[in-house]
């Protein structure tokens, strides 16, 4: 018998209510426009939710509209640009299944017919109201004999159609659901791409946030392989809300938590999650990665990635991204501020003042101009600091394990000792490699100049805190600024450090990268990486994975195969592709010593049994099909 699909029009096939758009046109020059449109929208909603009779809702709206026949061309022109995104993307479905698709709407054929005709739905399968015009072409009412002009008219309409086979209704309103309630339709899909109406959603057999989901559930031909709303993203540690907005706008299902989670809770929470977003606190251990059944990506919305077991991630086919530059400038600006504040002893003066003491003195207050700044770790942050510090008149020295080009007049030191012995201020910007634990201890502090200052904005474990306390209390160092600590809490609250209470010591709760600008930039940068990988397989800038930049391909299917890098595996993949006579339009391979990542683009027509065979190849880690 086949299946019939009954679509609603307004807010389902289109992103808008057509009469609202018509009102915008007809009331364009009316000074009361805003108020009248609001009233029209209210009446529309009351009608859709069944709170007033539909006939009443229609009569009241038409009276307020004051529309003319000539306005309808403009309306159709606008509606053509307001088709729901996923409907537009899946035009092929409407074209192939046209014979089984009906539109039953309480809108008007005058504007529905020309819109759906472009989707291969002929006027004789569109059931809707029609306008009444006066002799001058003004819209003065509607055909009251039409069942769709009356309350629950859709029930009467569908009944009269007496369609054979299974009937599925797709619509955003309660007035669509009633066809299911009346026993005339077998299933009701609440369509929420444009508007979520509780009354419809609460009664639905399925809530479908877009047509992709509807087509997926019914195993119908569709534009994308897997509906994005089914891809779950978990963002921890108060990641900037722009990340949530960017990812939800692309259609993903995103959950945002303000804090980090301990291992056991993270394992539980990651069930069914495809993408995890964290900052510096969350430890993504091997145990977490091995337990995560669906995980494809871990994204650090920060620079550091040592909180993630990168090897275990790679072994499990989980791609890791970070934001390597987004907060660089913020850290540098804080370092500059701290260098000045410490060199001028500003914090002790400020603390005294807060306690009611006026202590005007030049003791221990110096300019930074002409002083020597030693930068340890001449990477992104170190180099940027070098430039800004020099522009304040400081003489910059730097030390790095890697060979680095000196910027401006900066002077390279051949050893850490050389740098420590010459610098008035030492600023640490080495990476979060665990080998850097206690990098600055008693011995290194001893090598520093008497009265020098130390700044650590890199990682807490880099400095031996007890040794630093001794150096500060003895007067060996005149001050220090620390933003990072060996043990940091998972969430805001009480915190203890032996450095508390020592004069001229600036303590900040790991906020070097916490500026509006940096967090916003991260919230744009990282989601783009995530979307690029999920939507097309790109691994450019992945920190643990072979990087592949893929060309955009239309009308192809893409196989993504991640495997252990063992001899013969590529030959095996290609043997299977050849066996199924796959017409390959592009193939891209990138490997490192442990994994291989091969992407194959092909014509859309192929025997899908090939997928099972590719998945079954020994040493396969992950396999995805994308289109
Ligand atoms: N406080 C914060 O909020 C905050 C914000 C951003 C970054 N960070 C931290 O700042 C650090 C630097 O970040 P980046 O973006 O400049 O990193 P980067 O990788 O660009 O630079 C690090 C540099 O340190 C060098 N290095 C590593 N170990 C060294 C050693 N033992 N001796 C000398 N040089 C060494 C590396 O060769 C590299 O040039 C990282 O630890 C990062 O996690 C902290
Ligand atoms: O690695 C980083 O970028 C910094 O340590 C900042 O981390 P955060 O995002 O947790 O503040």
Burial 296-331 (b: 16+ CB within 10 A, else e): bbbbbbbbbbbbbbbebbbbbbbbbbbbbebbbbbb
Best substitution site from 329, 379, 406 to test ligand 1's pocket, by max atoms within 8 Å of Cβ?
A: 379
| Residue 488 annotated in active site | yes
For ligand 2, whether the C-beta of 86 sits within 6 Å is no
Least confident stretch, 48-52, 107-111, 380-384, 584-588: 48-52
Q: Is the model's pLDDT at 50 over the cut of 80? A: no
DSSP letter assigned to residue 463: B
* DSSP states of 523-583: HHHHHHHHHHHHHH---TT-SSS----PPP-SS-EEEEEEEE--TTHHHHHHHHHHHTT--
More confident residue, 505 or 49: 505
Closest residue to atom 2 of ligand 1, CA basis: 512
For ligand 2, whether the C-beta of 280 sits within 6 Å is yes
C-alpha 581 to ligand 1 mean position (Å): 50
Give the residue-averaged pLDDT of 77-89. 97
Closest residue to atom 44 of ligand 1, CA basis: 458
So what's the pLDDT on residue 234? 98
For ligand 2, whether the C-beta of 562 sits within 6 Å is no
Give the orientation angle of helix 328-343 with respect to helix 380-391, to 10 degrees: 50
For ligand 1, whether the C-beta of 444 sits within 6 Å is no
C-alpha 493 to ligand 2 mean position (Å): 18
Q: pLDDT category, 1, cuts 50, 70, 90?
A: low
Burial 8-26 (b: 16+ CB within 10 A, else e): bbbbbbbbbbbbbbbbbbb
For ligand 1, whether the C-beta of 460 sits within 6 Å is no
Q: Which domains does the chain have, with CATH numbers?
A: 3-217 (3.40.50.1000), 228-321 (3.40.50.720), 328-514 (3.40.50.720), 546-625 (3.30.70.260)
Q: Write the pLDDT tens digit of every residue in 7-40.
A: 999 999 999 999 999 999 999 999 999 999 999 9
Q: How far are the Cα atoms of 222, 252, 603, 627 from residue 226, in angstroms, in the given order?
A: 9, 11, 18, 8
DSSP letter assigned to residue 240: -
So what's the pLDDT on residue 528? 97
For ligand 2, whether the C-beta of 456 sits within 6 Å is no
Best substitution site from 378, 455, 458, 509 to test ligand 1's pocket, by max atoms within 8 Å of Cβ?
A: 458
Q: Write the pLDDT tens digit of every residue in 272-300.
A: 999 999 999 999 999 999 999 999 999 99
Catalytic residue among 197, 349, 429, 459: 459
Give the residue-averaged pLDDT of 89-116. 96
Q: What is the mean pLDDT of the chain?
A: 96
Give the residue-averaged pLDDT of 355-381. 98
So what's the pLDDT on residue 68? 96
So what's the pLDDT on residue 44? 84
Give the residue-averaged pLDDT of 148-177. 95
Strand bridging mode 253-256 / 232-235: parallel
So what's the pLDDT on residue 146? 96
Give the residue-averaged pLDDT of 192-218. 96
Nearest to 239 by CA among 212, 264, 263, 257: 257
Q: Is 38 exposed, middle or buried (0-12, 13-18, 19+ CB in 10 A)?
A: exposed
User: Is residue 129 within 8 Å of residue 58, measured between CB atoms?
Assistant: yes
C-alpha 326 to ligand 1 mean position (Å): 14
Best substitution site from 431, 432, 488 to test ligand 1's pocket, by max atoms within 8 Å of Cβ?
A: 431
**Prediction pTM value:** 0.87
Catalytic residue among 222, 279, 510, 557: 510
The Cα–Cα gap between 371 and 387 comes to: 15
Q: Where are the alpha helices (DSSP H) in 416-515?
A: 416-422, 442-447, 465-473
| Residue 222 annotated in active site | no
**How far, in whole angstroms, is CA 319 from its chain's centroid?**
15
The Cα–Cα gap between 314 and 305 comes to: 13
- For residue 257, which phi and psi values (nearest 5 degrees)? -115, 150
Give the residue-averaged pLDDT of 299-312. 97
Q: Is the model's pLDDT at 212 over the cut of 70? A: yes
So what's the pLDDT on residue 619? 97
Among the atoms of ligand 1, which is closest to the Cα of residue 377? 24
Q: Is the model's pLDDT at 155 over the cut of 90? A: yes
Among the atoms of ligand 2, which is closest to the Cα of residue 459? 5
Q: What string of H, E and C letters represents the secondary structure of 55-79?
A: HHHHHHHHHHHCCECCHHHHHHHHH
For ligand 2, whether the C-beta of 513 sits within 6 Å is yes
Q: Is the model's pLDDT at 47 over the cut of 90? A: no
Q: Write the pLDDT tens digit of every residue in 228-245.
A: 999 999 999 999 999 999
Give the orientation angle of helix 516-536 with respect to helix 328-343, to 10 degrees: 160
For ligand 2, whether the C-beta of 146 sits within 6 Å is no
| Residue 459 annotated in active site | yes
So what's the pLDDT on residue 151? 85
Q: Is the model's pLDDT at 114 over the cut of 90? A: yes
Q: Is the model's pLDDT at 310 over the cut of 80? A: yes
Q: Which ligand is nearest to the CA of 325?
A: 1
Among the atoms of ligand 2, which is closest to the Cα of residue 281? 10
So what's the pLDDT on residue 55? 87
């Amino acid at each position: 018998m086949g299946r019939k699909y009954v679509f609603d029009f307004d807010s389902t096939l289109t992103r808008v209510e057509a009469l609202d758009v018509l009102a915008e046109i007809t009331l364009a020059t009316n000074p009361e426009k805003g108020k009248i449109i609001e009233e029209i929208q209210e009446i529309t909603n009351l009608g859709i939710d069944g709170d007033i009779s539909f006939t009443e809702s229609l009569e009241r709206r038409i009276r307020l509209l004051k529309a003319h026949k000539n306005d309808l061309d403009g309306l159709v022109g606008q509606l053509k640009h307001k088709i729901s995104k996923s409907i537009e993307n899946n035009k092929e479905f409407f074209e192939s299944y046209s014979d089984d698709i009906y539109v039953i709407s309480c809108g008007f054929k005058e504007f529905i017919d020309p819109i759906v005709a472009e989707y291969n739905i002929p006027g004789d399968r569109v059931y809707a109201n029609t306008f009444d015009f006066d002799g001058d072409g003004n819209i003065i009412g509607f055909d009251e004999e039409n069942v769709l002009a009356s309350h629950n008219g859709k029930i009467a309409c569908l009944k009269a159609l007496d369609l054979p086979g299974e009937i599925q209704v797709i619509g955003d309103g309660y007035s669509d659901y009633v066809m299911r309630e009346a026993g005339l339709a077998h299933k009701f899909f609440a369509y929420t791409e444009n508007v979520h109406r509780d009354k419809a959603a609460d009664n639905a057999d399925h809530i479908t946030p877009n047509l992709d989901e509807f087509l997926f559930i019914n195993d119908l031909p569709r534009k994308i392989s897997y509906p994005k709303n089914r891809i779950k993203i978990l963002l921890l540690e108060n990641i900037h809300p722009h990340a949530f907005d960017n990812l939800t706008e692309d259609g993903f299902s995103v959950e945002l938590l303000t804090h980090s989670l301990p291992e056991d809770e993270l394992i539980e929470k990651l069930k069914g999650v495809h993408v995890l977003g964290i900052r510096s606190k969350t430890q993504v251990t091997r145990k977490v990665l091995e337990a995560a059944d669906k995980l494809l990506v871990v994204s650090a919305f920060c620079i550091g990635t040592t909180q993630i077991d990168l090897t275990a991630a790679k072994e499990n086919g989980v791609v890791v991204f970070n934001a390597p530059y987004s907060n660089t400038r913020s850290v540098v600006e804080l370092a500059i501020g701290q260098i000045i504040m410490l060199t001028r002893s500003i914090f002790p003066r400020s603390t005294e003042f807060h306690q009611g003491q006026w202590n005007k003195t030049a003791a221990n207050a110096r300019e930074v101009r002409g002083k020597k700044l030693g930068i340890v770790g001449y990477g992104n942050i170190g180099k940027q600091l070098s430039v800004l510090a020099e522009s304040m008149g400081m003489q910059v020295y730097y030390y790095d394990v890697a060979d680095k080009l000196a910027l401006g007049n900066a002077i390279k030191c051949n050893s850490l000792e050389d740098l420590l012995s010459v610098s008035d201020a030492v600023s640490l910007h080495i990476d979060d490699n665990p080998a850097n634990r206690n990098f600055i201890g008693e011995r290194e502090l001893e090598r520093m100049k008497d009265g020098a200052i130390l700044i650590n904005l890199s990682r807490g474990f880099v400095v031996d805190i007890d040794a630093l306390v001794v150096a500060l209390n003895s007067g060996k160092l005149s001050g220090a600024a620390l933003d990072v600590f060996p043990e940091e809490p998972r969430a805001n609250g009480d915190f203890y450090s032996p450095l508390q209470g020592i004069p001229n010591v600036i303590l900040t709760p790991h906020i070097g990268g916490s500026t509006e600008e940096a967090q916003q930039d991260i919230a744009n940068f990282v989601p783009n990486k995530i979307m690029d990988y999920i939507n097309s397989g790109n691994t450019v800038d992945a920190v643990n994975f072979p990087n592949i930049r893929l060309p955009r391909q239309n009308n192809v299917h893409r196989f993504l195969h991640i495997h252990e890098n063992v001899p013969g595996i590529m030959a095996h993949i290609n043997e299977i592709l050849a066996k199924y006579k796959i017409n390959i339009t592009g193939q891209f391979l990138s490997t490192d010593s442990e994994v291989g990542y091969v992407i194959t683009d092909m014509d859309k027509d192929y025997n899908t049994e090939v997928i099972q065979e590719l998945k079954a190849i020994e040493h396969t880690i992950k396999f995805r099909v994308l289109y």
